Structure 1
Amino acid sequence: MEEQYKITDAQVLKAVAHPLRVRLLGLLRSDGPATASELGRKVGESSGSTSYHLRELFKYGFIEEDPDRRDGRERRWRARHRYTSWDAVELSGTQEGREAVKVVHLRQAELVGRLMEAFDPGDWSDEWVEAAGMSDHVLLLPPAALRELKNRIDELLGEIATRYAGDPAAGQVAVWYGAMPRDHEEEQDR
């Protein structure tokens, strides 16, 4: 699997921003290859619906048929990349690009909400419950500081993943971070 898929076309970003496609691609990345029927059961959709959206993901290069795991009746699909990236400044040069960037950010926030909703501390050991969680901060930062923060978080995530690779206590963990400037008018209203 390749490391990343860098999107440079607003149409491609818009195609992957569809709510079901985002979920299907995420499942293929996190859980591995699957058929349309298997994915349909996971997301509560018909195999016809998931098949259509999988074909769209294939058309835009996000997924491929899994040659290692063939099912006699159905195609098995796998993700081609570990993650998707895009240049928000470049894509925001057009109205279509701005809309696509906004929609994909909203899809990411929806995913965070689903993951938080699914997390039940009663299902996990105290060690996992203590380590998991979320926090929020409102800081006064210039764009350069926010870029530095983003870069350092990426570096730290890579360093930690490498250090703990193969640890028997390791489990799949969803890590997210986001930082958006607040509207000046909204700040003044508070």
Structure 2
Amino acid sequence: MEEAYKISDPQVLKVVAHPLRVRLLGLLRSDGPATASELGRRVGESSGSTSYHLRELFKYGFIEEDDERRDGRERRWRARHRYTSWNSRELTGTPEGREAVKIMRLRQAESMTRIIHEFDESAWSPEWVEVAGVNDHFFQLPPAALTEFMARTEEMLRELEARYAGTPDTPHVHVWVGAFPRVPKEER
């Protein structure tokens, strides 16, 4: 699997920003190859609906057929990239690009909300219950500081993943990092 799908076309970002496509792509990335029927059961959609959206993801290069695990009756699909990225400054140069970035940010927030809602404390050890959650910090920082923070955070997460590889009780973990400037009080 390739590392990243870097998007520079707002139309392509809008393709993946569809709510069902975001979920399907996320499931293929986190759970591995699956058929349209398997994915349909996971998301509560018909296999016809999931098939259509999988074909759209395929058409734009987000997923590919998994020939290694081919099911005789149905195609198995797998993600081509670990994650999707884009440069917001580049994409927001047009109204279409601003709309696509806004939609994708909202899809990310929806995904985070769904995962928080699905987290069941009774199903996890006390150690997991203690560390699971979201923090809300408030700092005064320039764009350069946030750029550095994002880069160092990703570097640290990759280092920790490598260090703890193979450790028992090591599931996939959703980690969100986000920052937005706050509108000054006098402008609210």
TM-score range, shorter chain: over 0.9
TM-score (norm 1): 0.96
| 1-structure distance, mates of 2:53, 2:140 | 41
Give me the identity figure in percent. 70
TM-score (norm 2): 0.97
Q: Could you tell me which amino acid in structure 2 is paired with residue 171 of structure 1?
A: P
**How much does 1:188 deviate?**
2.9
Unaligned runs of 5+ in 1: none
Q: Could you tell me which amino acid in structure 1 is paired with residue 178 of structure 2?
A: G
- Candidates 176, 182, 188, aligned match of 2:186: 188
Match of 2:87 in 1: 87
SS at 1:37's partner residue?
A: helix
SS at 2:61's partner residue?
A: coil
**How much does 1:168 deviate?**
2.0
Match of 1:99 in 2: 99
Cα-to-partner distance string for 1:57-101 (whole Å, 9 max, x where unaligned) = 000000000011111111000000000111111111111011101
**How much does 1:169 deviate?**
2.4
| 2-structure distance, mates of 1:189, 1:14 | 31
| 2-structure distance, mates of 1:73, 1:155 | 42
Match of 2:142 in 1: 142
Alignment of 1:108-127 (within 5 A): 108-127=108-127
Unaligned runs of 5+ in 2: none
| 2-structure distance, mates of 1:44, 1:80 | 24
Please tell me the root mean square deviation across aligned C-alpha atoms, in Å: 1.1
4+ aligned runs moved over 4 Å, structure 1: none
Q: Could you tell me which amino acid in structure 2 is paired with residue 59 of structure 1?
A: K
Match of 2:2 in 1: 2
**How much does 1:189 deviate?**
6.6
